[in-house]
Amino acid sequence: MNKLLKEIYNMDKAAMKKAAENVMVGGGTRGGPILARGKGVRVWDIDDNEYIDCTSQSWALYLGYANDEINDIVRDHIENLTHIHQGFDSKPRFYLSQRLAQLAPEGMNRVSFTVGGGPAVEAAMKICAKNVPHARDFVCLYDSYHGTSLGSMGASWISTKANGEYMGGTSFLSLTRPFIRVPNPYTYRNPYNVDAETYIDMCLTMTREVFQRGIAGRPVGVLIEPIQASGGQIILPKRYLQEMRKLCNEFETLMVFDEIQTFGRIGEMFAADYFGVTPDIIVIGKALGGGFPLAGIIISDQLEGFTPNAEELHTFANPTASFVASARLLELLEEWVLENCRNMGAYLNSKLHELAKDYPEMGDIRQAGLHIGVEFVADPKTKETLEKETVDIRNAGMKNGIIFGLGGVRRNVLKIKPPLIVSQQECDEILEKLEKSMKSVLRR
Ligand SMILES: Cc1ncc(COP(=O)(O)O)c(C=O)c1O
């Protein structure tokens, strides 16, 4: 092994503690183990404790840890190139752009890359600004999350008091864009206690009012996560998205789908295929690079795109190693992984509903492919949130060898989003560890 790599791998706890003084971390659910190596859906910490990872590391490892297929293609490729500047063309960029255009909804054929989701959302905002004249304000939904870059942060719920406290996003309000927010059709709970269909109608009516009289000019664009992931795994109803499409057309503004978390994970490449609604701009990221950093946008043929006039210039927008990893990921998704995602998602969903018969605290189970959230409540009727208990279940999971995600603006949603290659046997293990963790917290 390389001498330097050996030195890094051999750092002991005292050396790490000292070095940690130099580390500044801006977010993430803290307090987890220090991870050392992984394979498939499993990861091991520095003390060799094993975990099944239901976070896929911020939902980015669709093919699991240290995937052989990705490692092989990247190993071959990096003998030639790893990164080249955006101004130079490369075969991997030609190939991946064409492949994504072929897979994207009809009429969406131009692709632009960044290395992070926040900058990709900003790229989508720039395209909106180029194409929608006499407009200033962007619209987003309550409880949305679109990143923490300065351009995207104002659109994220962390810039509100949604969860009862002013979070990090509000520290930078003087630097971030103001977004106009409209109610999200979170049909499981709504402030008016009306039924789901009525609430969808109310959200649409309130949004129409905002478009018409609550905003100067027309919206530059409307940012929507088809499934609000960070906000609590809230699956937006199909009818709502269809009606929003019509509203965007009527008000001559652009509809942007932030598919950074849904791309592939819902068992379809794109939300347009899943919901039957085609936006004007699609934003993708996280898993797109097959585990390597990559994000980007795909835009409608009807739109004016970027020109090479310094409109979108990033040093790392042409990472050829990420491009080849991404190309292999797309191939595998098509070959078998999307189907596995649909099957394992359906399997977990039915087993979770069985489990909910014994655990009424599992108030709502929301599943699309392997995009799964369980909302914990004290009582299914009152829907009072179980915030501390949800955190405790996640922590009990760590002790039981499983890493769950935690989310929702009310912090009471457990996220179960394993790599898309998860097997049925591994799903059984996830369910068994979940039950053990719930039992230790809810039946103590
Ligand atoms: C829907 C959505 N949009 C944007 C982002 C921001 O992406 P990144 O963290 O790569 O900047 C995230 C990240 O969690 C996300 O879930």
The per-residue pLDDT for range 165-177, each reduced to its tens digit, is 999 999 999 999 9
Measured from CB, residues less than 6 Å from any atom of ligand 1 are 116-118, 121, 145-147, 225, 229-230, 258, 260-261, 285, 295
Count H helices, E strands: the chain? 14, 17
Does residue 388 carry a pLDDT above 90?
Answer: yes
Q: What is the pLDDT of residue 126?
A: 98
Does residue 264 carry a pLDDT above 80?
Answer: yes
Q: Are strands 295-300 and 281-284 parallel, antiparallel or unpaired?
A: antiparallel
Q: Which helix (H) or strand (E) holds 80?
A: none
- The CATH class of 71-333 is alpha beta
Q: What is the pLDDT of residue 29?
A: 76
CATH number 3.90.1150.10 given to 32-67+336-442: yes
Please give the radius of gyration of the chain, using alpha carbons only, rounded to the nearest integer. Answer: 22
pLDDT range class, residue 257, cuts 50, 70, 90: very high
Q: What is the pLDDT of residue 30?
A: 75
Which part of the chain has CATH 3.40.640.10? 71-333
Handedness of CA 289, 319, 45, 409 (dihedral sign): negative
Lowest pLDDT segment from 116-120, 138-142, 190-194, 197-201: 190-194
Residue given tokens 């020109």 in the structure block: 307
Q: What is the pLDDT of residue 200?
A: 98
Ramachandran quadrant class, 219 (left: phi over 0; alpha: psi -120 to 50; beta: rest):
beta
Residue pLDDT, tens place only, 30-42:
778 999 999 999 9
Does residue 228 carry a pLDDT above 90?
Answer: yes
User: Cα 377 to the chain's mean position, in Å?
Assistant: 24
Does residue 287 carry a pLDDT above 90?
Answer: yes
Which part of the chain has CATH 3.90.1150.10? 32-67+336-442
Residue nearest to atom 7 of ligand 1 (CA): 117
CA distance 72 to 300: 34
285 CA closest ligand 1 atom index: 10
Tell which one of 223, 260, 282 to mutate to probe ligand 1, the residue whose CB is within 8 A of the most ligand atoms.
260
User: Cα 396 to the chain's mean position, in Å?
Assistant: 24
Do 283 and 258 form a contact (C-beta atoms < 8 A)? yes
Q: How far is the CA of 205 from the centre of ligand 1 (A)?
A: 28
Mean pLDDT across 98-116? 97
Mean pLDDT across 350-375? 98
